[in-house]
């Protein structure tokens, strides 16, 4: 083994010890501004760069979220930009979907040849939603310093909140229903669903990203707790290694913790469009690469 590299016993990954936290810090910094942890890009990095393709890679992604998210959510909460009606709606719908997604992963998507195109389809849909919003979306100004979210109404069918001078309304029941479907895909992929739900809230519900990011991350954290538990227990895995690589996940998580906090702190100074443009380009490239495997069979 070359000097300076380390082999992680659970996953068998061999890399320099500083690489996981550095990569996670970068992904979390930019992801936190858009309401995601960067886990949806961390999984392709693990599979394509670190060659970690066992089902445990999805669990390691969930574990990363448990480290990366709390500091970011705390920052949004302190600044009054944690949208509780949206956060609870996402969490309520997503976590049962995560459990179903786990069973799909170990039953039908255990092999990399099957899982990578599946991941590519999820990423391609995400790229489509981001691209459509970039093309048609309304340009919003940066929020004034100290602008907070004020909940006006929160029921099963309707939630209303004020942010600055604008008032926004959405249906918690519809968000929860979509969150369940997203949770199924996220449970198999290894993400809490924020990478799909945040663009949906911005592009379809027309909510400003500065009020979506914290709620999306809160829901992702709840789902990641469930994900780590079910993958660690390994129900119906038929001998597959589904538990996370705790050491590798912790290193990713430490980088994500710092990157996410810094991203949440600087988000209010950066307009929406550059954030979403960067995400769109990266997601599209990764999706096309994984989907190209369908033509190589």
26 Rama class: left (phi>0) / alpha (psi -120 to 50) / beta = alpha
Residue in the block written with tokens 């959405």? 170
Q: Which residues contact 3 (CB under 8 A, 6 or more apart)?
A: none
pLDDT(55) > 80: yes
CB 227 within 8 A of CB 96: no
pLDDT(103) > 80: yes
Nearest to 274 by CA among 166, 168, 130: 130
- State percent of the chain over pLDDT 70: 91
The structural domains of the chain, with segments of one domain joined by +, span 16-136+149-296
CB 192 within 8 A of CB 220: yes
Q: What's this model's pTM, rounded to 2 decimal places?
A: 0.79
pLDDT(171) > 90: yes
Between 155 and 113, residue with greater pLDDT: 155
> According to the model, what pLDDT value does residue 247 have?
94
What does the DSSP assignment read for 144-173?
PTT--EEEEEE-SS-EEEEETTEEEEE-HH
What does the DSSP assignment read for 67-133?
HHHHHHHHHHHHTT---HHHHHHHHHHHHHHHHHHHHHHHHH--SHHHHHHHHHHHHHHHHHHHHHH
CB 145 within 8 A of CB 268: yes
The mean pLDDT of 99-116, rounded to a whole number, is 79
Task: Of 145-154, 231-240, 247-256, give the lowest mean pLDDT range.
Answer: 231-240
> According to the model, what pLDDT value does residue 137 have?
58
Give kind and range of the element (H or E) at residue 249. helix 246-266
Sign of CA dihedral 187, 175, 126, 162: negative
DSSP category for residue 193: S
User: Quick one: 184 exposed, middle or buried, by C-beta within 10 A (0-12, 13-18, 19+)?
Assistant: buried
> According to the model, what pLDDT value does residue 140 have?
58
The mean pLDDT of 153-163, rounded to a whole number, is 92
The mean pLDDT of 43-59, rounded to a whole number, is 87
> According to the model, what pLDDT value does residue 254 have?
93
CB burial string 204-232: b at 16+ within 10 A, e below: ebebbbbbbbbbbbbbbbbbbebbbebbe
pLDDT band at 8 (very low <50, low <70, confident <90, very high): very high
**What is d(CA 13, CA 252) in angstroms, rounded to the nearest whole number?**
13
pLDDT band at 14 (very low <50, low <70, confident <90, very high): very high
CB 116 within 8 A of CB 287: no
pLDDT band at 21 (very low <50, low <70, confident <90, very high): very high
Phi, psi of 52 (to 5 degrees): -100, 100
CB 176 within 8 A of CB 93: yes
pLDDT(294) > 80: no
> According to the model, what pLDDT value does residue 1 have?
45
pLDDT(3) > 60: no
**What is d(CA 90, CA 200) in angstroms, rounded to the nearest whole number?**
12
pLDDT(192) > 50: yes
**What is d(CA 170, CA 91) in angstroms, rounded to the nearest whole number?**
15
pLDDT(109) > 80: no
pLDDT band at 296 (very low <50, low <70, confident <90, very high): low
146 Rama class: left (phi>0) / alpha (psi -120 to 50) / beta = left
**What is d(CA 28, CA 253) in angstroms, rounded to the nearest whole number?**
9
Q: What is the dihedral of CA 262, 264, 270, 272, to 10 degrees?
A: 140
């Amino acid at each position: 083994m070359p000097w300076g590299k380390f082999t992680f016993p659970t996953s068998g990954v061999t890399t320099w010890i500083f690489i996981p936290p550095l990569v996670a810090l970068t992904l979390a910094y930019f992801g936190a501004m858009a309401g995601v942890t960067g886990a949806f890009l961390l999984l392709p990095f693990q599979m394509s760069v670190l060659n970690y393709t066992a089902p445990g890679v999805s669990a390691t992604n969930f574990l990363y979220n448990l480290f990366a998210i709390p500091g970011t959510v705390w920052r949004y909460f302190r600044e009054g930009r944690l949208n509780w009606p949206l956060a609870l709606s996402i969490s309520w719908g997503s976590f049962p979907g995560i459990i179903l997604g786990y069973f799909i992963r170990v039953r039908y998507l255990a092999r990399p040849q099957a899982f990578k195109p599946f991941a590519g389809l999820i990423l391609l849909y995400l790229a489509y939603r981001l691209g459509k919003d970039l093309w048609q979306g309304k340009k919003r100004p940066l929020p004034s310093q100290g602008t907070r979210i004020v909940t006006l109404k929160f029921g099963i069918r309707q939630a209303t909140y004020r942010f600055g001078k604008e008032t926004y309304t959405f249906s918690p029941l519809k968000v929860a229903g979509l969150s369940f479907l997203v949770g199924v895909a996220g449970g198999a992929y290894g993400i809490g669903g924020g990478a799909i739900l945040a663009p949906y809230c911005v592009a379809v519900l027309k909510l400003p990203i500065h009020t979506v990011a914290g709620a999306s991350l809160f829901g992702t954290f709840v789902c990641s707790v469930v994900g780590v538990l079910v993958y660690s227990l390994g129900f119906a895995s038929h001998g597959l290694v589904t538990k996370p690589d705790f050491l590798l996940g912790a290193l990713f998580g430490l980088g994500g913790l710092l990157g996410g906090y810094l991203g949440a702190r600087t988000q209010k100074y950066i307009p929406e469009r550059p954030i979403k443009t960067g995400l769109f380009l990266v997601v599209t490239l990764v999706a096309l690469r994984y989907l190209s495997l369908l033509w190589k069979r």
